Amino acid sequence: MPSSTLDLAKALIARRSLTPDDAGCQEILIERLKQLGFKIESMRFGNVDNFWARRGMTGPILCFAGHTDVVPTGPVEQWVSEPFTPTEREGKLYGRGAADMKTSLAAFITAIEGFLAQHPNHAGSIALLITSDEEGIAVDGTVKVVETLQARNELIDYCIVGEPTCVDKLGDTVKNGRRGSLSGQLIVKGIQGHIAYPHLAKNPIHLAAPAIAELAATEWDKGNEFFPPTTWQISNMRGGTGATNVIPGEVEILFNFRFCTASTVDSLKSRVLALLDRHGLDYSIEWEYSKPYLTGRGNLVDAISAAIKEVTGINTELSTSGGTSDGRFIADICPQVIELGPRNATIHKLNECVELDHIEPLREIYQRTLEKLLK
């Protein structure tokens, strides 16, 4: 008999899968899926293991997406129990990846097993997209699998990403989108010189200060129904030689926008450049971005909201808060992407854990969503 969701979660947590090392987690999942009749495609890009699994040849396709990699543990001696030894204590399951996101992966599998036991001839197709490169630089993981599927016109109708989304209680929050991220490396140039002879130099920090103040005070947009207004923040600022008597020749400013769908990458870039030009700065700038995604109310949001209500009694809240996720890549081939997983209170922290009494209800929510969309 297949093991329970808890047993499977423990088996995954016991694998030391630090990004991008999968450490055999995907083998465990693949073996279970093969027994259910899934066609498995292993896709290794660079040093990253990924797989795409599908059962069924027709639409709609409901895909479960997630990652087997975890972040480093931090000081092991500060953990109450060994991070890669799954431990039950005081009603919780402890271990690195317990919340982010090996419990979700386990619940994916057991939900599918339960659904197929009752509905072996279900409508549509079930799929899984699993990577080991979500917690890292995310260039050889989900994005590459999506590109492969897109190239052969294999699209997805619904996708559930197992990221930990809940705040206080299981099911209280579903992510139906994420803000975009636009980072800039701005270098403002001046003329280096002796601090006692400022008339012979140009201090780039002084020159940049009015522009920085205006950037910080600018209203970029007002947000919309699902997103808060776009924000701009400096993350790092560096200039000078380290000496107290030298005016620096340049200053480097690293900044980031977290932007909503009320703005675009192009509109934000053009407004920044216009502002810098207006201040007469001699500068260079390099950009890096990931785009936002948003799933409005529809079949997937309705189905998972109803499943949460049935299992937990909670009216879930739709949210677009937090950082980026692999949902931003999947949205290129899937019009309806949401994220639902355990509470996120301990993710990336020492003594990461998930409540034991949340594990089977999470599995049941996933299974009921399958029933609503593919029964």
**DSSP H helical segments within 200-298, as ranges?**
204-217, 265-278
Q: Among candidates 364, 351, 329, which has minimal Cα distance to 50?
A: 329
Place of tokens 């490396």: 185
Planar angle of CA 322, 324, 328, nearest 5 degrees = 130
CB 86 within 8 A of CB 94: yes
Distance CA 30, CA 22 (A): 13
Q: Which residues contact 323 (CB under 8 A, 6 or more apart)?
A: 178, 181
Distance CA 224, CA 149 (A): 32
CA atoms within 13 A on the CB side of 336: 16
Own/partner long-range contacts of 33-40 (Cβ < 8 Å, ≥24 apart): 33/109, 33/112, 33/128, 36/112, 36/113, 36/116, 38/126, 38/128
Distance CA 67, CA 118 (A): 27
Distance CA 186, CA 284 (A): 6
The two tokens of residue 290 are 């990931």
User: Catalytic residues, which ones?
Assistant: 69, 134
Place of tokens 């000081």: 75
DSSP reduced 3-state for 369: helix
